[in-house]
Structure 1
Amino acid sequence: MIRFENITKQNGHRILFVEASAALNRGEKIGLVGPNGAGKTTLFRLVTGEEAPDEGQVSTEKNVSVGYFNQDVGEMSGRSAVAEVMDGAGPVSAVAAELAELEVAMCDLEREDLDAVIERYGEVQARFEELGGYALEGRAREVLDGLSFSQEMMDGDVGLLSGGWKMRVALARILLMRPDVMLLDEPSNHLDLESLIWLEGFLKTYDGALLMTSHDREFMNRIINKIIEIDGGTLTTYSGDYEFYERQRALNEKQQQAKFERQQAMLAKELEFIERFKARASHAAQVQSRVKKLDKIERFEPPKRRQVVSFDFAPAPRSGEDVAVLRGVHKGYGSKTIYQGLDLTIRRKERWCVMGVNGAGKSTLLKLIAGASQPDAGTVTIGASVRMGYFSQHAMETLDGDKTIFETLDTQFPQANQGVLRALAGCFGFSGDDVEKPCRVLSGGEKARLVMAIMLFNPPNFLVLDEPTNHLDLDTKEMLIKALAAYEGTMLFVSHDRHFLAELSNRVLELTPEGIHQYGGGYTEYVASTGQEAPGLHH
Structure 2
Amino acid sequence: MLAIHGVSIRAGVKPLFENASLSIHPGQKVGLIGQNGVGKTTLFKAIMNEVPLDAGQISVPANWLIGYVEQEVSDSKLCALDYVCFGDSQYAELEAKIKHAEQLDDHDALVRAHDEMDRISGYEVPQKAQQLLAGLGFSVQDLNKSIQSFSGGWQVRLKLAKALMQRSDLLLLDEPTNHLDIEAVAWLIQWLKSYQGAVLMISHDRDFLDQVVQGIAHIQHQKIHYYSGNFAAFERQRNEQLMQQHALHEKQKQQMQHLKTFIERFKAKASKAKQAQSRVKALERMEQVAAVQATNPFHFEFFEPKHQPDPMVKVENVDFGYDDKPILQQASLVLRAGDRIGLVGVNGSGKTTLIKLLVGEVEPQAGKIQISKGVTVGYFAQHQLEALQLEHSPLQHMLTLGEEVSDQQARDFLGQFGFTNEQSLTPVATFSGGEKARLALAMIVYQRPNLVILDEPTNHLDMETRDALDMALQEFGGALIVVTHDKHLLASIADQFWWVHEGKVTLYHGDLESYLQTRLKTLKQSQETQKQAERLEMDRPVQNKKQLRQQNAQRRKQLDQLLKPHLSAMKKVEKQMEKAQSELDQLHELMEDSALYEAENKSKLTEILKTQASCEKVLEESELEWLELQEQIELCTQSFEDSQFD
TM-score grouping bracket, smaller chain normalisation: 0.7 to 0.9
d(CA) in 2 for partners of 1:97, 1:318: 66
Is 1:183 aligned to 2:182, yes or no? no
Q: 1:96, 1:133 within 8 Å by CA — same for their partners in 2?
A: no
d(CA) in 2 for partners of 1:512, 1:475: 33
Q: 1:29, 1:209 within 8 Å by CA — same for their partners in 2?
A: yes
What is the aligned partner in structure 1 of residue 368 from structure 2?
Answer: 379
Is 1:338 aligned to 2:332, yes or no? no
Q: 2:181, 2:346 within 8 Å by CA — same for their partners in 1?
A: yes
Q: Where is the strand percentage greater, Structure 1 or Structure 2?
A: 1
* Cα drift, residue 95 of structure 1: 3.1
Is 1:85 aligned to 2:84, yes or no? yes
d(CA) in 2 for partners of 1:91, 1:225: 30
Q: 1:512, 1:535 within 8 Å by CA — same for their partners in 2?
A: no
d(CA) in 1 for partners of 2:6, 2:374: 61
Q: For structure 1, which segment, 309-318 or 468-477, has the greater mean C-alpha deviation from structure 2 after superposition? A: 309-318
For each residue in 1:389-424, what CA deviation from the matched residue of structure 2 results, as whole angstroms up to 9, or x when unmatched?
Answer: 222223223322221121111222332233432233
What is the aligned partner in structure 2 of residue 192 from structure 1?
Answer: 181
What is the aligned partner in structure 1 of residue 583 from structure 2?
Answer: none
What is the aligned partner in structure 2 of residue 240 from structure 1?
Answer: 229
- The runs of 5 or more residues in structure 2 that have no matched partner are 249-291, 521-622, 633-646
Q: 2:69, 2:159 within 8 Å by CA — same for their partners in 1?
A: yes
Is 1:249 aligned to 2:233, yes or no? no
Q: Where is the helix percentage greater, Structure 1 or Structure 2?
A: 2
What is the aligned partner in structure 2 of residue 487 from structure 1?
Answer: 476
Q: Tell me, what secondary structure is at the counterpart of 2:217?
A: strand
What is the aligned partner in structure 1 of residue 284 from structure 2?
Answer: none
Q: For structure 1, which segment, 413-422 or 132-141, has the greater mean C-alpha deviation from structure 2 after superposition? A: 413-422
Aligned partner letter, 1:6: G
What is the aligned partner in structure 2 of residue 504 from structure 1?
Answer: 493
Is 1:325 aligned to 2:324, yes or no? no
* Cα drift, residue 190 of structure 1: 2.2
Q: 1:354, 1:509 within 8 Å by CA — same for their partners in 2?
A: yes
For each residue in 1:243-282, what CA deviation from the matched residue of structure 2 results, as whole angstroms up to 9, or x when unmatched?
Answer: 11112112112225589xxxxxxxxxxxxxxxxxxxxxxx
d(CA) in 2 for partners of 1:468, 1:506: 18
Q: 1:311, 1:423 within 8 Å by CA — same for their partners in 2?
A: no
Q: 1:194, 1:534 within 8 Å by CA — same for their partners in 2?
A: no
* Aligned counterpart in structure 2 of residue 478 of structure 1, from 467, 470, 477: 467
* Aligned counterpart in structure 2 of residue 369 of structure 1, from 338, 343, 358: 358
Q: Taking structure 1 as the reference length, what is the TM-score of the superposition? A: 0.83
Matches within 5 A, 1:130-529: 130-257=119-246, 306=295, 308-513=297-502, 515-527=504-516
Q: 1:356, 1:534 within 8 Å by CA — same for their partners in 2?
A: no
* Cα drift, residue 505 of structure 1: 0.7
Is 1:48 aligned to 2:48, yes or no? yes
**What is the aligned residue count?**
486
Q: Tell me, what secondary structure is at the counterpart of 1:155?
A: coil
Q: 1:76, 1:159 within 8 Å by CA — same for their partners in 2?
A: no
* Cα drift, residue 218 of structure 1: 0.8
Aligned partner letter, 2:84: V
Q: Tell me, what secondary structure is at the counterpart of 2:356?
A: helix
d(CA) in 2 for partners of 1:174, 1:55: 30
Q: For structure 1, which segment, 117-126 or 45-54, has the greater mean C-alpha deviation from structure 2 after superposition? A: 117-126
d(CA) in 2 for partners of 1:359, 1:158: 16
Q: Tell me, what secondary structure is at the counterpart of 2:309?
A: coil
Q: Tell me, what secondary structure is at the counterpart of 1:255?
A: coil
- The runs of 5 or more residues in structure 1 that have no matched partner are 106-112, 260-302
d(CA) in 1 for partners of 2:62, 2:473: 50
Aligned partner letter, 2:134: D
d(CA) in 1 for partners of 2:509, 2:247: 46
The 3 A distance-change label for structure 1 pair 67 and 123 is closer
d(CA) in 2 for partners of 1:516, 1:79: 35
The 3 A distance-change label for structure 1 pair 75 and 418 is farther
What is the aligned partner in structure 1 of residue 93 from structure 2?
Answer: 94
Q: 2:216, 2:226 within 8 Å by CA — same for their partners in 1?
A: yes
Please identify the structure whose Cα radius of gyration is greater: 1
d(CA) in 1 for partners of 2:367, 2:293: 57
The 3 A distance-change label for structure 1 pair 232 and 154 is same
* Cα drift, residue 371 of structure 1: 1.6
The 3 A distance-change label for structure 1 pair 444 and 16 is closer
What is the aligned partner in structure 1 of residue 3 from structure 2?
Answer: 3
- What percentage of aligned pairs have identical amino acids? 33
d(CA) in 2 for partners of 1:535, 1:332: 32
For each residue in 1:41-63, what CA deviation from the matched residue of structure 2 results, as whole angstroms up to 9, or x when unmatched?
Answer: 22222222223432222222231
